Amino acid sequence: MTIKFPLVIDGQWRAGSSNESQAVLNPATGESLGLVAHATLADLDEALAAATRGMREWQVVSPWERGTILKKAADILRANIDSAARTITLEQGKPLAESKGEVGRSADFLEWGGEQARRISGRFLRGRDTGHRIEIETHPVGVVAAFTPWNFPMALAAKKFAGALGAGCSIICKPSEETPGSVLVLAKALLDAGVPPAAIGVVFGRPDEISSYLIPAPAVAKVTFTGSIPVGKLLAATAGKAMKPVTMELGGHAPTIVCADVDPEKVADFLAKAKFTNAGQICLSPTRFFVEESVRERFTTRLAQHAKAWRVGDGLDPQTQMGPLANERRVHAMSHLVDDTLGKGGKVAAGGQRIGDRGFFFAPTVLAHVPDDAEILRSEPFGPVVPVLGFTDEDAMLSLANGLEFGLSGYVFTNDASRQQRIKDSLHFGTVGVNDVATHIPEVPLGGWKESGYGTEGGIEILEPYQKTKFLSIR
């Protein structure tokens, strides 16, 4: 039976008015799971009208009650974690255990957004003269247009729903057409919990057509996007023409520095798991490995052993450690990066090729003796490919680590306290891990430096991107 992935507009789960759709593929098999509906411009007009009405209905719900509703939605997700996780694995590919973790983190984001909603407050100041007082109020910014990717299809949408709905905004979400079911599960939990039907919209279609129509729409007050730097720049430019605020969480290319004072085998054990989680398809993933020369060979050997032994397969198989890549494009991208490195004199220490002819599997790969002009050192791989470089000069290494446009995350592994301080302070990234690789959890704000975006999501600041202030001068 073919699954239908519908639009959600004003509480109605329906096809687009043109009945146009596209196939959703299972990346483990390459076979179709079902069809996702495409919205027409008329459908988008309906979504905008509903969101405008939903904004009026939702913003008058007390922050305390908004918190209650978001907490209930989180509980609904947790109660249905098995079926929700299966949806993620079928359409995205990651192992079922990772999908369960994503559902749990999505629930945590909703709950956190609801808790922060209950803390919405203003400020009171005494005026400069008798009979004068000043008040500062916070208000929801308005209708939010959210654009979310396929790598963490539920959690990255949940962050935006939590912040927007917690602040009192309505939201129209345009998820990836490759992973539609995950956000539909999220939307159903929110609606079942009591969010007004008009306050939530989910639309699919041609990404450029939808973004170019929603972002300039007068009803939309705020744009939030998670994805690549080139697409983020295009969306931000469109929003800028209408002076609309944006939150951009864009790509990363995380330098991962391994110093000689650590146990290289133990660090390789840790980083193998961090790197091959979600097949490396994580913006925060460690991607450029700078290993001090005296331990480089030991580190590379151990990492390659992990790559060769990692169990790759269907995410529904409980023995699987790494699932397929999410789509055929990523397979071709990995092959290109490996071929480019080999063509310029690099070596493959493990992997380096597609696995099988069914589904989108690519072997966990370790590249050694990577030349300075290899494309993988400049382009975010977004996959299970690790370039390892040796270094002896710390300053020269830090210049390379900071030398790209990316500024999302960076990592350093050293037990030397003074070196920890020196290197972490030198890394120009919004997230830095010291003997750790970061995961975005709700209680911390995540944001990129340089071209990896601006604004943050999460933390006690989770509502701020979706709020505006009003200054009252009263006599």
Q: Which of the residues are catalytic?
A: 249, 283
- Within 121-179, where are the H helices? 155-167
CA 236 → CA 247, 336, 394, distances in Å?
Answer: 9, 29, 36
What contacts 24+ positions apart, CB below 8 Å, involve 311-318? 312/355, 312/361, 312/363, 312/364, 313/28, 313/361, 314/28, 314/29, 314/359, 315/28, 315/89, 315/93, 315/94, 315/95, 315/96, 315/98, 315/99, 316/28, 316/86, 316/89, 316/90, 316/96, 318/96, 318/97
Question: What element of type H or E holds 70?
Answer: helix 63-79
Three-state DSSP at 402 gives: coil
Cβ atoms within 10 A of the Cβ of 370, count? 21
CA-based nearest residue to 351, from 305, 382, 389? 305
Cβ atoms within 10 A of the Cβ of 97, count? 14
CA 314 → CA 8, 185, 304, distances in Å?
Answer: 30, 22, 22
d(C-alpha 367, C-alpha 376), whole Å = 10
